[in-house]
A and B are shown apart, each in its own frame.
Chain A
Amino acid sequence: MEQPRKWRYGVNRWLILLFVILGVLAARAYPPILPHIQLPAEAISGEPLFSLPVIGDFYFTNTLLATLIADVLLLLLAFGVYRATRSGSLVPKGLPGAVEALLEAIHNLTASTAGKWARTIFPFFATITLLVLVVNWMELIPGVDSIGLLEPSEHGYPVKEIFPGVATIVKGAEGEAHEGELYALRPYLRVASTDLNFTVSLALISVFMTQVFGARALGGTYFTKFFNTRTLFKKPMFGAIDFLVGILEAILEAVKVLSFSFRLFGNIFAGSILLFVVGSLVPIFAQSAVLLFEFFVGMIQAIVFGMLTLIFMSLATVGHAEAEAH
């Protein structure tokens, strides 16, 4: 058992050195350049998927493709773990064991925060956390944001063919007149969190389901949080203040959508720009540190998105009057 382990470590060491040298050579041969950064997701299908009369055309964008890939990964993981639990052994090994430990930690957190509503809230919390986690970590995979179609663009750079049919963008010398057409890259895959559509829709789901759980837990009295007329006629002065506070609460619910979506979007979009800039300025070594940092940020943002959903949902299931009582 000891012997092959030693041998494998020795090979890994030389493999890492080989990749470092290859990376340096590749960066010397084709210096990375700063891509044209744009906020809306790029369409990768020529024609729109479908059109709606007022809203407009819907394209198949690269962030949508990234979301679908993340969904498929999660589904495969789920089916794998399901089959492992069905196989009969009570003690899961390997990946199913890791997933079980992760889900147990998430479930304990839900149970300690949400109390008796844990079973209802847990699916939303776990789904949002896992989806955002997988989507954020796609940023770290080489090829995301850098493999795609070349299209003529005024912001572009000259291209050079390395294999037949495969071309790469090359950096022209400074001040040199570009000959021929200039191309920009339209990547096949882009991190879904850098698209506001993804983050806003997740935030809408989270905030809407918060209202649904609140209404289910407290019935009609949940909405007196927003239209507080309980004390309006008994004590006119304080009742009016309570009513205004209720309206403020309603505005706060709408602001939650903004804060949820911009927090995730801003962190990940700024992170990917940081990766572009550092990669184009210092193509060797320096990006490793930024990649580690982005690994951390992606995990933290996923946990924060899920935790906030959990906390808001469990707060909504606890009544206003009960909270005042103690």
Chain B
Amino acid sequence: MEGDIVEAATILGKLLGAGMAAIGVLGGGIGVGLSALGAVQAMGRNPDVTGTIQTNMILGFAFAEATSIYALVVALLILFVF
């Protein structure tokens, strides 16, 4: 009986913790949106450099995404390791 409660609490804690860790994805989303905003505005002003802007935009996506990937890694670690 007591073992069951402990097990259920462990699972509950794991799932809650993983969910809360995933809140960190928010910042990455905002960052990616901002970089897309800047890139599209720049392309609208100067369509000739679209290629360069796209390359740098995708690099910027990858860096902005990195922090949310850390949050995701923490969530995955909580779910599958501990």
Residue of A nearest to B63 (CB): A304
Which of B3-11, B34-42, B45-53, B73-81 is the interface stretch?
B73-81
A259 touches B80 (CB 8 A): no
For B23, list chain A residues within 8 Å (CB).
none
Chain A stretch 32-52: residues in CB contact (< 8 A) with chain B? 37-39
Interface size on A, residues (CB 8 A): 17
Q: Within 8 Å of chain B (Cβ to Cβ): is A301?
A: yes
Say yes or no: B66 contacts A39, CB within 8 Å. no
Q: Does A269 belong to the interface (CB within 8 Å)? A: yes
Interface residues on B, range: 10 to 19
Does the CB pair A273–B76 fall under 8 Å? Answer: yes
Could you tell me if A300 and B81 are in contact, using CB atoms closer than 8 angstroms? Answer: no
Tell me the nearest residue of chain A to B68, going by C-beta.
A266
Task: Determine if B12 is an interface residue (Cβ-Cβ < 8 Å).
Answer: no
**CB contact between B73 and one of A38, A262, A303 (< 8 Å): that residue:** A262
* Whole-angstrom CA separation of A37 from B59 in the bound complex: 30
Q: How far is the CB of B27 from chain A (nearest CB, A)?
A: 15
Q: Please, how many angstroms separate the alpha-carbon atoms of A266 and B72 in the complex?
A: 7
- Taking Cβ atoms with an 8 Å cutoff, the residues of A that contact B are 37-39, 259, 262-263, 265-267, 269-270, 273, 300-301, 303-304, 307
Which chain B residues have a beta carbon within 8 Å of chain A's beta carbons? Answer: 58-59, 61-63, 65-66, 69-70, 72-73, 76-77, 80-81
20 contacts between A and B (CB under 8 A): A38-B80, A39-B76, A39-B80, A259-B66, A262-B69, A262-B73, A263-B66, A263-B69, A265-B73, A266-B69, A266-B72, A266-B73, A269-B76, A270-B73, A270-B76, A300-B58, A303-B62, A304-B59, A304-B63, A307-B59
